[in-house]
Amino acid sequence: MTSHEEPIRANPLTAAGSRPDSSDRLTLIAGYRVLRRLASSERADIYAGVAPSWAASGEPPEGEMAAPTRTVALKVFRPEADDASIEREIRALTETSPGRLAGLLDVATLPGGRMCLVLELLTGGSLGRHLADGRWVEPGEAVTILAPVVVALAELQAIGLVHLGLTPAVILFDSRGRPVLAGLGGLRAFPEPGPARRALTEDAAGCLSHLVRIVLDRVGPDPEQTHAARELAEWFAAAAPRVPGATRLADLERRLFAWSDAGPVCLGSGAEPGHDPDSAVTVLRLRSVAPVTGASPATAGGGGTDRSSSAGWGGPWFAGPVSAVRAAAGVVLAVLGRGAGRDNGAGVRLWAWLRPALRARRGPALAGVVVAVLVAGVAVSGLRPATGARPGESAPGPPVVPAASVPASAAALTPSDRVAVNGDDPVTAVQALLGLRDRCLSAASVACLDGAEQAQSSALAADSHTVHLAQQGGAAAAAIGLASWTPVLAYRTGDVALVTLTATDAQRKPASVLVVKGEAGWRIREIFDD
């Protein structure tokens, strides 16, 4: 059994800690200044890049914006990369809970049509590097390494995907020891029930069993700890081929925590110096607030208890959607309270205006969802000037998006639609975005949706699920048609707007669309439609 993607190879021309000379010509990918190439595979090249807020000067901004050192990973797919594998990767990044996989911050298309994913940069090295020094692994470390991977696999399985490239090389850490599942070129979609599905499930179980054995065989040096770890590995190796996937993963997670509490991972010399990913983690948390209603993918798939919500894996960075909402709310209060020309009461007034109407029309559960998405949207927009200008620049007119940073799906927009999406009027932007959304759903394309909907938003998660059903033979027509409704601006504060939609059919109840404006223009954050 072999991995379905070539191992990532470090670029021999650049050292791990090297940084281009400041006199070098600036190279931009999707608007990000490229620092160096990190790795390559048969599918993609991965680069470290500096966020647009200081890419042009090569120096971080001063004052309010100086805190985050926004370095990201730019994954540029090669022309020969299989479109279906890219679709699977985007589905995984958008439909799993925050923190399971690297955070997806943006999607862009490059000249020539190649797709680029802007991802959270993970600088703690790989599990393979972590184990290469030959030292013993504490039981708590083993739990912290394996449990999040098990839950990530359960969530992938719940959306119909399985990982066949599971090795220590694709388990990456951030600078604080949070493990993240990578190597998404190894994802495969479950076929229909039958021999092919059973074979795929057995291959995936074998990959996980091998990884579990590698980690647990390093537990020691206490003989009792070593014996208990090997017993656990042997149990899983025996159970994996004959237990259904969801039950198998839930049992493994439960037994891991019954064996030991989680403990911090000692990264040692495996961490790469010189980059601070905290800003990328912060952006991920602000942009990935999930709805407060409904089960998580892991729960829906029959997996074990989702421990991420209790920060039980060695630190608060494992917190799930509830903690993300709290963190985003704190940022909103801080941003709105900073003054400097901002309307300090905008967020409070917006919610005071929305709450009675939403409770009257749809009840308290939906009101809770709106709290989450508004908090996230206002937080993201509050981290930059309302006009979208960089520090020190005057406010421009409607921005023109460079060709290198236009999302792949934006190619489906007409020139007038593109102007609307990048302009200041949320109503005309909503009309264009809903039209693009309809075309994406008709084409059953997840990649296309990234041009209409915000990364890791509830709207993108819901529509990705609709596309997945359509790809399996279901009908997507029920989700199409809002583009023909009449939009009216209900409320706006800064780069967050709520637009109501009235149907031509008087029997239909009105709908609402929450949109957020970012550097790539307006995007749909949530759709409220009875």
What is the DSSP annotation of 74-137? EEEE-TTS-HHHHHHHHHHHHHSPTTSB--EEEEEE-TTS-EEEEEE---S-BHHHHHTT---B
Residues 126 and 9 sit within 8 Å (Cβ to Cβ): no
Residue 112 in any domain: the answer is: yes
For residue 366, the model assigns a pLDDT of: 39
For residue 329, the model assigns a pLDDT of: 34
Residues 77 and 124 sit within 8 Å (Cβ to Cβ): no
Total domains in the chain come to 3
Can you say how many angstroms the Cα of residue 413 is from the centroid of all Cα atoms in its chain? 24
One domain, residues 115 and 132: no
One domain, residues 32 and 94: yes
Model pLDDT for residues 341-361, shown as the tens digit of each residue? 334 344 444 444 444 444 343
One domain, residues 17 and 76: yes
d(CA 60, CA 187): 37
One domain, residues 342 and 463: yes
Model pLDDT for residues 268-277, shown as the tens digit of each residue? 654 443 333 3
For residue 114, the model assigns a pLDDT of: 87
For residue 224, the model assigns a pLDDT of: 93
Residue 295 in any domain: the answer is: no
Which structure tokens are listed for 90?
């985007």
Nearest Cα to Cα of residue 64 among 332, 393, 338, 378: 338
d(CA 192, CA 476): 20
Mark the ranges of the chain whose per-residue pLDDT is less than 70.
Answer: 1-26, 52-69, 242-244, 268-412, 473-480, 530
- What is the domain-level CATH number for residue 217? 1.10.510.10
Nearest Cα to Cα of residue 328 among 374, 279, 387, 370: 374
d(CA 247, CA 303): 7
d(CA 154, CA 163): 10
Please give the C-alpha separations between residue 419 and each of 26, 188, 415, 438, in angstroms, as whole numbers: 28, 38, 6, 19
For residue 347, the model assigns a pLDDT of: 43
Residues 11 and 39 sit within 8 Å (Cβ to Cβ): yes
Estimate the crossing angle of helix 245-259 against helix 195-216, to 10 degrees. 10
One domain, residues 110 and 156: no
Residue 60 in any domain: the answer is: yes
Residue 349 in any domain: the answer is: yes
For residue 509, the model assigns a pLDDT of: 82
For residue 289, the model assigns a pLDDT of: 29
Which of 270, 302, 336 is where one domain is finished?
270
Task: Supply the pTM of this predicted model.
Answer: 0.53
Which of 242, 270, 298 is where one domain is finished?
270
Residue 516 in any domain: the answer is: yes
- What is the domain-level CATH number for residue 14? 3.30.200.20
Which of 80, 96, 120 is where one domain is finished?
120
d(CA 530, CA 131): 52
* 38 membership: H or E segment, kind and range: strand 32-40
For residue 413, the model assigns a pLDDT of: 76
For residue 280, the model assigns a pLDDT of: 31
Estimate the crossing angle of helix 223-239 against helix 245-259, to 10 degrees. 170
Residue 290 in any domain: the answer is: no
Can you spell out the DSSP letters for 227-271?
HHHHHHHHHHHHHTTTS-HHHHHHHHHHHHHHH--------GGGS
One domain, residues 143 and 114: no
Residue 285 in any domain: the answer is: no
For residue 46, the model assigns a pLDDT of: 93
| DSSP 8-state assignment for residue 411 | G
For residue 463, the model assigns a pLDDT of: 84
One domain, residues 448 and 493: yes
Q: What's the burial of 400, exposed, middle or buried (CB within 10 Å: 0-12/13-18/19+)?
A: exposed
One domain, residues 111 and 223: no
One domain, residues 412 and 485: yes
Q: Which domain does 430 fall in, by range?
A: 320-528
